[in-house]
Chains A and B, each alone.
Chain A
Amino acid sequence: MEHRPDPAFRTALSYIDLSRRYYAAHGYDVPYRWATNFDAPFTAPTTPPTKANVALVTTSFPVVDGERSPKSVYAAPSRPPPVEMFTADLSWHKGATHTDDVESYLPLQALSEAADEGRIGKANRRFFGVPTRYSQRLTMADAEQIGSWCRQDGVDLVLLIPL
């Protein structure tokens, strides 16, 4: 029989609720405090996507000699797109899917094709990676570094893709 979501509950999973319950079951009494804001900064684009230099940001990491590269903010060349990325230490649904296809979370090839077909101006020469951290202070330092790289590269639009 086809599995259907229970209409008595919202269909989109609440990862805040699930993780709080899951770690409480492990005996951790103090729940994680998620970043919470009621406002959000907004920059209107000045360049249409068809003329924009588009950069990607990922939470995955390059693989070096079969291991994860050091877990700090990084920039890496967009071409050729990596054939594998390190995702094993990230939280994703390991029982339901896999991350063997890099394009399913870091679409560098698709972005490059979009540039070739004129759907974007160009794919930025490098992409950026940011570690998932529990410290918001450290994440902000990483954000400043990525901002500085985006300025250097003349990026017009950033697509951020957490796993």
Chain B
Amino acid sequence: MSLVARHLEQIGFPTVVIGSARDVVEQCGVARFLFTDFPLGNPCGRPYDRAMQREILDSALRLAETAFGPRTTVQAPQSWGDHQWRSSYMRVDEDNIEELRRMGRQRRQHQQVVKETAEDC
């Protein structure tokens, strides 16, 4: 998505990216980025929280108008509320490492079967 934003800027459209994966967007490099520090899935605000969603949209509109140069990141002040989600996404620890290895092996076997079937056709 950040690549799309870069292309649009290049051909003359001002853009704002609203997102929660700060490092991914900043590493790609965009003109304006409104960072919402939420779990991935609801970058525009908590589900059904219309007041928060309106504030975030308005922040994006303000950022469009006020950023004076590229790579401008503004962190939205709204909070998700709790922080539990920070430690559970793509978790890898001794409790699940064997299960992840098994899932990886299974997926590679499946991909090999798909590849061989395609070669046979």
Contact = CB atoms under 8 A, between A and B. Distances in A.
B65 A49 contact: yes
Interface residues of B, number: 73
A99 B42 contact: yes
Given A16-B23, A35-B3, A163-B40, A3 B82 contact: yes
Interface stretch (A22-30, A62-70, A74-82): A22-30
Contacts of A156: 13-14
B14 A44 contact: yes
Counting chain A residues whose Cβ lies within 8 A of the other chain, the interface size class is 35 or more
Contacts of B42: 97, 99, 101, 104-105
A98 B48 CA distance: 11
A160 B70 contact: no
B113 interface: no
A43 B13 contact: yes
B4 A139 contact: yes
Given A18-B89, A19-B90, A160-B1, A97 B35 contact: no
A105 B21 contact: no
Nearest to A132: B1
A12 B14 CA distance: 26
A97 B57 contact: no
Interface string B31-73: 1000101111111111110100110011011101100011100
Nearest to B35: A12
Contact of B5 (A21, A100, A158): A158
A98 B47 contact: yes
A65 to B, nearest CB: 24
B24 A34 contact: yes
Contact of A158 (B14, B71, B84): B14
Interface of B: 1-19, 21-25, 27-31, 35, 37-48, 50, 53-54, 57-58, 60-62, 64-65, 69-71, 82-90, 92, 97, 100-101, 103-105, 107-108
Interface of A: 2-5, 11-19, 21-23, 25-28, 34-45, 48-49, 52, 54, 57, 59, 87, 91-101, 103-107, 110-111, 113-114, 119-120, 130, 132, 136, 139-140, 142-144, 146-147, 150, 155-163
